[in-house]
Amino acid sequence: MSQFFKRVQRFAKKSPIAAGIPFMGMIVAASYGFSYITQVKYDYIDAKYTTSDPIVSILVHQSEKREKLGLKNAEPIDIRKIYFDLAKDDDDWDFVRVPRQPGEK
């Protein structure tokens, strides 16, 4: 057995690729392994909020969040209403020229 390790050490000293290829292989294998584990995690989280109807699951999830934040009776946000409110407030200003300091052109 010791001769096997001596041969491996000699080969690794002669060719740095011999040590690099297994290392890169482990990196690639770990990447695939971790992606599988991460996908299982997200599938588990999605399963908590999934029903047969995706729209119902989204509404239930949003209502749970609103209850946790204490927004159960709050008015729902409408982006068009906010846009028109901001656009309406943009027209009520007057141009006022600021007096220059002495010595400025």
pLDDT tens per residue, range 5-24 = 888 888 778 777 777 888 89
Distance between CA atoms of residues 91 and 86, nearest Å: 10
Which pLDDT band, with edges at 50, 70 and 90, does 50 fall under? low
Flag whether pLDDT at 73 surpasses 70: no
Q: What are the sequence ranges of the domains in the chain?
A: 2-89
Residues 18, 11 contacting (CB under 8 angstroms): yes
Distance between CA atoms of residues 59 and 46, nearest Å: 14
**What pLDDT is stored for residue 94 in this prediction?**
82
Distance between CA atoms of residues 9 and 18, nearest Å: 10
Flag whether pLDDT at 27 surpasses 90: yes
Q: What is the pTM of this model?
A: 0.34
Distance between CA atoms of residues 85 and 79, nearest Å: 10
C-beta neighbour count of 49 within 10 angstroms: 13
**What pLDDT is stored for residue 26 in this prediction?**
92
